[in-house]
Amino acid sequence: MKYYFNVYKRLLKINFSELIAYRAGFINSIISSLGWGFFQMVWVYLLTAKIKSAYGWNRDELVILAASYILFMGIFHMFFSRNLDNLSRIINYGQLDGYLLKPIDSQLLLTCWQINYSQIIRLFIGSYFITSTLIQMRYYPSVTNVIGFATLLIFGIILMYAIWFVVATLLIWNPQLSNLIDFLYNITGMSRYPPSMVKEFKSIVLLFFIPLMLTVAVPVKAMINKVLLGDIVQLLIFSIFLLYISRQFWHFALRYYASASS
Amino acid sequence: MAIIDVKNLSKYFRVYKKEPGVLGSLKSLFNRKYENSKAVDNISFKIEEGELVGFIGPNGAGKTTTLKCLSGLIYPSQGKISILGYTPFDRKSDFLKQIGLVMGQKNQLWWDLPPIESYLLNKEIYSIPDRQFKETIEELAELMEIKNILQVQVRKLSLGQRMKCELVAQLIHLPKVLFLDEPTIGLDVVMQQKLRCFVREYNRRYKATILLTSHYMDDVKELCRRVIIINQGGILYDGLLENITKKYSTHKLLSVIFESPVKKDELQSLGEIKLYESTKVNLLVPRKDSNHIASHLMEKFDVADLNIEEPEVEEIVRKIFTAKIV
Amino acid sequence: MKRFLKIVILHFEHVFENRARSLIWFIISLTNPLSLILFWKGASNGGNLGLGWTFSSLTTYYLLLALANAFLTSHIEEEVSFYDIKQGDLVRYLIRPFSYYWIKFIEEIPYRLLQGTYGLILLLIFIILFSHLVRINLTVLIIALGLMSAILAFFISFTFKMIIGLLAFWFKDIRGLYNLVDIVTIVFAGYVVPLEFFPSTLKNVSYLLPFAYMIYYPVIIIQGKLLLWEILRIVGIQFLYLSLFLVIQRLLWKKGIKEFTAIGQ
């Protein structure tokens, strides 16, 4: 609705003003995103230098997977990461009330509060390496491929967001566990690997990673025409289901917060 | 119909008891002992539109908890609350658009940007039309004297200026019902005075209903005609401030200035010495004896000046807290 | 000496209280090596990867790397730059009769020992559960040389982190630089793949940079992949780097303290 559009427009503007106002932070962010963006490519090149394939993915496909991961994380870091990091601080320092008093959905407000424009660099790096590798493979994706990739990527982001928000919500019960968020950063790195890597191990611990591994791999598979209907269905179901869970869990946590805080 | 209607509000908190050490931690895993601590215990009151009511009590009396219940942040254990016809805990956006809660030094303004940017964001969140927003900013900025710093980055402002801007941020939507929790805490004397002026003016100009908690009696004395005294979760008194004095003071205060210093032990038999500074003495005496003791003093000593006064409200309130007169 | 020991024990107690959080940090540092091991399982097909590496020697490599990371990598740069210099906590240290460098060293030891303990437990678990994967041939000589290299590596890393921490005297916000240092370290200390897997130009660069000497070489030595004269050469280079860093550190400290006390930060 127009209301949410207006609020978000203003948030976009205010974050842009902040970027211009605090230049030192902006430069540091640019350096970081450039660094980590290129690092991912170096990482995949080093890993695949001596091998032909792994878990059914050949070298080029692994490179595209890594590049898509850069693109994916770029979007995620641009819109969501800072807010999820801040959530632990907000809860710890008693600032949650300020957000709860506003006449707008608290989960939405907290999720969209800050935007990190400097991460757009990762979008460029990722897109560049995806296209250049595709050209090198002499593979030209059709419109359906690209649309499939974009759509499934969005669902992957929703899935990632839901998982992160659930973990961040846990902090309402124990604010000291803020390094769980750092743990998540590391775990998301698993999505650079082929999903079958995890399915090979029947350990329950590893199966837990499956939703996460779908986030980048399925869109990429759609792009290079290797996707199965089952993959798409899994991704869709997981992302919608977990988004619903994150919402219910948030409301549950707020009720706890409302009855326990003093 | 009352704007704020509280009936039998109670709030209990579960406090978990854990024994210290590793053994205690293990025990608490299996058998969690807890106590119910009563923060608010069966209180009821009604507030009409435009009233400016003071909510006083010592630390831990339940003031902040009550305010949080009224603004929908805390879920009451028992009782009913109705504000502007809404139940606060439903947290309907129409309700939230009409109330304001100002609690101490929360930072809502964006640090690297001028306050006006944060105000614009609040404007969108509260769906305030452009023209109303402009007028409100004009008026509030004038009242709080921040017109010339609206475009200055928040991090460049002094603490006092920042607090004024924070306050304005929380009033952009001109709430009809305003809860102020210890608004003058940590402020210097000048700022306290300015803030009180502002609150009074806000109440007058916008006919806002204001509920103010404080443990500075000066805030209450200057702003509120009606006070609610709360202690240990219960209401001890709900009525006009001036009536407290009439109803509860069993004593009167004799403030005397002697020509030459008088020894303490000579005065101690007459009443309670509240102030003793060589020639200046304040004596608390029973009401019925005040005249008698006054004339006795004038006979026995050289008195330069003598006044018979009602004791300070602080004194009475303190007595009410400690003795729990109902 | 007694007083010295008392301070160390006190710090150890403090760190031990936060052992849960420390454990989470350790687990975080495990995610990469473990996922890499998993990756190589499928990528290597159990076979030979060339250059004398197999899946099991690679697994051993990553485990030892995780252990070395726990013991040898200090994380003092944020504390030095943000808390001590920017926030001014440095004044506490200036009053004490020991040098800042050594006090920071003593404070860091308990963290390293705690993390190292977690690392040893992990190694033990792997040896018990996956004994066919873990291949270590230890001789007394290798242990001795490996230990010496490890101690040198620790000090090189510690001094380096101190140097980049001290840069905060002159720069307002150097988080970007710290990120770059992390990235370069990950690549050139062998956290992605052993340096031997690098293409030749990159390999030569990695031999020149100090990062390999902070973590990689102690691991490779313990794995027994180097000949004696190679080990001695490595240790020699470590000595050189350490001396260089100590000199730079002293210089930066002297200059920085002048600025710090002049401004009254």
In a domain, B88, yes or no: yes
Out of A100-109, A176-185, B1-10, B11-20, the most confident range is A100-109
In a domain, B133, yes or no: no
In a domain, B236, yes or no: yes
Helix locations, chain A, DSSP H: 2-21, 23-48, 59-76, 82-92, 96-100, 106-112, 120-136, 143-170, 179-188, 196-199, 204-207, 210-223, 229-260
If asked whether residues B102 and B204 sit together in one domain, one would say: yes
User: What pLDDT score was predicted for residue A139?
Assistant: 86
Q: What is the CATH number of the domain that holds B104?
A: 3.40.50.300
Q: Which residues of C touch A36 (CB under 8 A)?
A: 179, 183
In tens, the pLDDT along B235-257 reads 888 888 878 776 666 778 888 88
How many domains does chain B fold into?
2
In a domain, B92, yes or no: yes
Q: Kindly determine whether residue B73 and residue A258, on different chains, have CB atoms separated by under 8 Å.
A: yes
User: What pLDDT score was predicted for residue C188?
Assistant: 95
Mean pLDDT of B216-224: 83
Q: Give the C-alpha separation, C163 to B78, whole Å.
A: 60
C97 contact A CB<8A: no
Which of A23, A102, A257 would you mutate first to test chain B, the one with the most B CBs within 10 A? Answer: A102
Radius of gyration (Cα) for chain C, nearest Å?
Answer: 20
| Crossing angle of the two packed helices C19-44 and A23-48, in degrees rounded to 10 | 40
Q: Kindly determine whether residue A179 and residue C25, on different chains, have CB atoms separated by under 8 Å.
A: yes
Token code pair at residue B176: 């009809």
Q: Give the C-alpha separation, A140 to B129, whole Å.
A: 51
Between CA C246 and CA C25, with CA C14 as vertex, the angle to 5 degrees is 75
Give DSSP secondary structure letters for A40-96.
HHHHHHHHHSS-SEETTEEHHHHHHHHHHHHHHHHHHIIIIIHHHHHHHHHHHTT-H
pLDDT of C263 > 70? The answer is no
End-to-end CA distance of chain C: 34
C163 Cα distance to chain centroid:
15
DSSP assignment letter at A176 = G
Q: Which among B225, B173, B243 is positioned nearest to B53, based on CA atoms?
A: B225
Between CA B176 and CA B185, with CA B181 as vertex, the angle to 5 degrees is 130
Token code pair at residue A162: 């839901």
Q: Which among B237, B260, B244, B235 is positioned nearest to B310, based on CA atoms?
A: B244
If asked whether residues B214 and B293 sit together in one domain, one would say: no
CA distance to C116, C220, C222, C229, per residue, from C150 (Å): 13, 11, 10, 17
End-to-end CA distance of chain B: 27
Which residues pair with residue B37 across a beta bridge? B13
pLDDT of B326 > 50? The answer is no
If asked whether residues B236 and B266 sit together in one domain, one would say: no
User: What pLDDT score was predicted for residue B87?
Assistant: 92
A98, A100, A262: residue with CB nearest B13: A262
Q: Which residues of C touch A189 (CB under 8 A)?
A: 31-32, 35
In a domain, B130, yes or no: no
Q: Which among C83, C213, C78 is positioned nearest to C157, based on CA atoms?
A: C213
Strand B78-83 and strand B4-17: the pairing is antiparallel
CA-based nearest distance C31→chain A, Å: 7
Which H or E element spans position B218? Answer: helix B217-223
Out of A162-176, B271-285, C103-117, C241-255, the most confident range is C241-255
If asked whether residues B64 and B104 sit together in one domain, one would say: yes
C44 contact A CB<8A: yes
Sheet of strand B4-17: strand arrangement:
B33-47, B4-17, B78-83
A174 contact B CB<8A: no
If asked whether residues B231 and B286 sit together in one domain, one would say: no
Q: Kindly determine whether residue A18 and residue B113, on different chains, have CB atoms separated by under 8 Å.
A: yes
Q: Do chains B and C touch (3 or more CB pairs under 8 A)?
A: no
Q: Which residues of A touch C191 (CB under 8 A)?
A: none
Q: Which among A191, A180, A253, A260 is positioned nearest to A221, based on CA atoms?
A: A191
In a domain, B165, yes or no: no
If asked whether residues B255 and B205 sit together in one domain, one would say: no
A93 contact B CB<8A: no
pLDDT of C28 > 90? The answer is no
A28, A183, A193: residue with CB nearest C176: A28
Mean pLDDT of B36-56: 88
Residue A113: count other Cβ atoms within 10 Å of its Cβ. 18
User: What pLDDT score was predicted for residue C265?
Assistant: 47
In tens, the pLDDT along C47-101 reads 667 777 888 888 899 999 999 999 999 888 888 888 888 887 888 888 877 788 9
User: What pLDDT score was predicted for residue B310?
Assistant: 72
Instruction: Give residues with Cβ within 8 angstroms of B189, minimum separation 6.
Output: none
Give DSSP secondary structure letters for chain C.
-HHHHHHHHHHHHHHHHTHHHHHHHHHHHHHHHHHHHHHHHHHHTTSB-STT-BHHHHHHHHHHHHHHHHHH----HHIIIIIIIIS-THHHHHTSSS-HHHHHHHHHHHHHHHHHHHHHHHHHHHHHH-TTT------HHHHHHHHHHHHHHHHHHHHHHHHHHHGGGT-S--HHHHHHHHHHHHHHTTSSS-GGGS-HHHHHHHHHSGGGGTTHHHHHHHTT-S-HHHHHHHHHHHHHHHHHHHHHHHHHHHHHHHHHHHHT-
Q: Give the C-alpha separation, B4 to B51, whole Å.
A: 10
CA distance to A12, B73, B231, per residue, from A101 (Å): 22, 8, 27
Q: Which residues of B touch A10 (CB under 8 A)?
A: 120-121, 123-124
If asked whether residues B104 and B204 sit together in one domain, one would say: yes
Please say whether the beta carbons of B80 and B8 come within 8 A: yes
If asked whether residues B179 and B302 sit together in one domain, one would say: no
Which of A8, A14, A250 would you mutate first to test chain B, the one with the most B CBs within 10 A? Answer: A14
Phi (first) and psi of residue C79, to 5 degrees: -65, -45
Q: Name the residue with tokens 């593979």.
A: A139
Q: Kindly determine whether residue B94 and residue A103, on different chains, have CB atoms separated by under 8 Å.
A: yes
In tens, the pLDDT along C103-132 reads 889 888 888 988 898 889 888 888 888 877
Q: Which among A170, A210, A197, A13 is positioned nearest to A84, based on CA atoms?
A: A170
* Domain end (from B215, B230, B245): B245
Q: Kindly determine whether residue C187 and residue A46, on different chains, have CB atoms separated by under 8 Å.
A: yes
Please say whether the beta carbons of A247 and A108 come within 8 A: no
Q: Give the C-alpha separation, A14 to B112, whole Å.
A: 10
Please say whether the beta carbons of B293 and B269 come within 8 A: no
Q: Do chains C and A touch (3 or more CB pairs under 8 A)?
A: yes
Kindly provide the ipTM of the predicted complex, given to two decimals: 0.86
A39, A47, A196: residue with CB nearest C193: A47
In a domain, B318, yes or no: no
If asked whether residues B82 and B10 sit together in one domain, one would say: yes
Token code pair at residue A190: 């698993």
Q: What is the CATH number of the domain that holds B284?
A: 3.30.70.980
Which of A31, A170, A180, A192 would you mutate first to test chain C, the one with the most C CBs within 10 A? Answer: A31
Mean pLDDT of B249-270: 82
Token code pair at residue A130: 């995806």
Please say whether the beta carbons of A159 and A33 come within 8 A: no
Q: Which among A66, A107, A106, A94 is positioned nearest to A193, based on CA atoms?
A: A66
Q: Which structural domain, as residue segments, surrounds residue B62?
A: 4-108+170-245
Which residues pair with residue B180 across a beta bridge? B102, B212
Please say whether the beta carbons of A210 and A199 come within 8 A: yes
End-to-end CA distance of chain A: 35
If asked whether residues B271 and B223 sit together in one domain, one would say: no
CA-based nearest distance A104→chain B, Å: 7
Q: Kindly determine whether residue B96 and residue A259, on different chains, have CB atoms separated by under 8 Å.
A: no
State the 10-residue block means of pLDDT for chain A, 262 residues long. 93 93 86 93 90 86 93 94 88 85 93 94 94 90 89 93 91 77 84 83 71 88 85 91 94 82 54
C24, C43, C172: residue with CB nearest A51: C43
B90 contact A CB<8A: no
Q: How many CA atoms lie within 13 A of B178 on its CB side?
A: 30
In a domain, B210, yes or no: yes
Closest chain A residue to the Cα of C32, Cα to Cα: A186
pLDDT of B176 > 90? The answer is yes
Phi (first) and psi of residue B38, to 5 degrees: -85, 110
Which of A95, A97, A256, A257 would you mutate first to test chain B, the one with the most B CBs within 10 A? Answer: A97
Which of A57, A178, A186 would you mutate first to test chain C, the one with the most C CBs within 10 A? Answer: A186
B134 vs B273: which has the higher pLDDT? B134
Token code pair at residue C199: 């293409």
Token code pair at residue A154: 């969005």
Q: Kindly determine whether residue B71 and residue A101, on different chains, have CB atoms separated by under 8 Å.
A: yes
Mean pLDDT of C19-44: 84
If asked whether residues B102 and B231 sit together in one domain, one would say: yes
Which residues pair with residue B17 across a beta bridge? B33
pLDDT of B18 > 70? The answer is no
Q: Kindly determine whether residue C176 and residue A29, on different chains, have CB atoms separated by under 8 Å.
A: yes
Mean pLDDT of chain B: 84
Q: Give the C-alpha separation, C189 to C204, whole Å.
A: 13
* Domain end (from B221, B245, B269): B245
If asked whether residues B15 and B94 sit together in one domain, one would say: yes
User: What pLDDT score was predicted for residue B190?
Assistant: 83
* Domain end (from B204, B230, B245): B245
Percent of all residues in chain B with a pLDDT value above 70, rounded to a whole number: 89
In tens, the pLDDT along C131-161 reads 777 777 788 888 899 999 999 999 999 999 9
C187 contact A CB<8A: yes
C23 contact A CB<8A: no
Q: Is A170 exposed, middle or buried (0-12, 13-18, 19+ CB in 10 A)?
A: middle
Mean pLDDT of chain C: 86
